[in-house]
Amino acid sequence: MSRSVLVTGASGLLGGRVATLLAARGHRVRTFQRRPAAAGAVDTVLGSLTDADAVARAADGVDAVVHLAAKVSFAGAWDEFRSTNIDGTRTLLAAARTGGAVDFVQVSSPSVAHFGASLAGARAAPADPGRARGNYARSKAAAELLALAEDSPGFRVAAIRPHVVWGPGDTQLVERVLARARAGRLPLLDRGAALIDTTYIDNAASAIVRALERMDQAHGRPLVVTNGEPRPVGELIAGICAAGGVRAPAWAVPGWLARGAGAGIERAWTAAGRRGWVRDEPPMTRFLAEQLSTAHWFDQRETRATLDWRPEVGLDEGLRRLAAHYGTLPSDGSGGPA
């Protein structure tokens, strides 16, 4: 059944992929974002989540909303995260209800329930803003709770938590890994032994769309989405570096040292950012150090059963596609990073 669907944050890699997939499945797609992009969109509304009038225009008359827009950063002032990720979600929820939407997919993050300790085969624990690590995770946790609190028979809400999304064109993970490895600024924490799972971009997009199609089963709860292929973080970084034609990092730092240093760097970076002295991401934060030195992989049985979904692109195939994107794949298309 064709529906009118609003996708926020469609200028980003994942949002754009979701909009394109929805359009390919016959839905009428409207996008809401701060800058033009919107592949696959029928129409686009430009604006910010902090502008209630623009949000209302975007949500008017749609049947469903997929909310991906967010401030994503390892550092930054709390007010910036609050205004976009929390207040912006609250504004969008109200506008969606007023505009006639009956389904709402909140795209969240497993970091909303990651409190610094290892997660091995974990299920989707409740979001906890008080214990989540870093302003991004805390704000996304609060936003997820706001969204799920609105779930009702007449306004169904599901929270989908894709974990470490990556793929060709990714600037959040892939380009940062390559840039830091190229500059010699990417250490392996605890020798890269922590086991983590990730999500290839096509799989993340298809799971989000599937959640919208399976709202009868998905609404009212969070679901973590991954490839279901946990690997040591050092192996994943090496695979990305090989695909990008960059030498993988070979130097190691104890995780405890990186976590302590990251906390201090994050405070200094945030203070400098308020003064306009820095605009890029800090080289390390406590949250990032924890992500690189603790296991975080998840039991996918509930997600796959609820969504009646399986990832179509495996990790090794994803790395092969990444190598093709960077032109490092052999000319015959065979081989590629493992």
Whats the size of the chain, residue-wise? 338
**Do the Cβ atoms of 155 and 102 come closer than 8 Å?**
yes
Token pair in block for residue 258: 């990186």
* All domains in the chain, ordered by first residue: 4-165+198-227+297-313 (3.40.50.720)
Sign of CA dihedral 67, 288, 187, 196: negative
Q: Taking the model in full, what pTM does it have?
A: 0.89
Residue positions annotated with a catalytic role? 136
pLDDT for res 258: 56
Taking only the tens place, the pLDDT of each residue in 175-218 is 988 988 898 888 887 777 889 999 999 999 999 999 999 999 99
Phi, psi of 193 (to 5 degrees): -85, -15
Taking only the tens place, the pLDDT of each residue in 128-141 is 999 988 899 999 99
